[in-house]
Chain A
Amino acid sequence: QVQLQESGPGLVKPSQTLSLTCTVSGGSISSGGYYWSWIRQHPGKGLEWIGYIYYSGSTYYNPSLKSRVTISVDTSKNQFSLKLSSVTAADTAVYYCARVFLLQPGLFDYWGQGTLVTVSS
């Protein structure tokens, strides 16, 4: 059973960089066959795709966030990470990590529980 767990600060100051890590257990990121993704959900709002990464390091980003987002992977730790720079209150959201099939990139099969990140001074 694959499990994903987000970790990182729950409070970030405006203009700083939000950094989150997703630790994968029960399966290897480097086995291939899947993208690894970040999705966020503003309080009381809908879901927003942030981006995907493949274990090789190939990335796809939401065009609206691309200038501020970096997703990276550390296969040795079986983790992937999200960095979002120059945050504002509008980046306050629950951030989810998830696994998605390489050949069916709309199909998320495993999700983390989500972690709330608040941007506030």
Chain B
Amino acid sequence: SYELTQPPSVSVSPGQTARITCSGDALPKKYPYWYQQKSGQAPVLVIYEDSKRPSGIPERFSGSSSGTMATLTISGAQVEDEADYYCYSTDSSGNHWVFGGGTKLTVL
């Protein structure tokens, strides 16, 4: 079955840049989507189609892709950005979707 691989954790100090990666064989052809989930809450979309940002998401959130790896970048991370982040995409068929294992971002 298809898998997306993320690092379990990333830690930065406030104001630093946090980068969270997601690797998957189909990413060169299939868009990644990024979700933020804070404790006890439903996930929230922060980046879609590689690098687009929904309205209401701060400009410090950006996305990029290169080959089989997608990256979520938080420039000048804030304490309120502490959360779990998940990439989400589909296999080459486009019919089977999968979340990455999630990355816990710590900002302290």
Contact = CB atoms under 8 A, between A and B. Distances in A.
Interface of A: 39, 46-49, 52, 60, 62-64, 96, 98, 104-109, 111-114
Contacts of A46: 84, 86, 99-102
Q: Counting chain A CB atoms within 10 Å of each CB, which of B31, B49, B97 scores highest?
A: B97
- Chain B interface size, as a band, is 20 to 34
B49 to A, nearest CB: 7
Contacts, number: 58
A109 to B, nearest CB: 7
Interface string B22-45: 000000000111010100001101
Contacts of A107: 33, 45, 48
B39 to A, nearest CB: 11
B66 interface: no
Contacts of B84: 46
Contacts of A62: 96-98
A109 B35 CA distance: 11
B99 A47 contact: yes
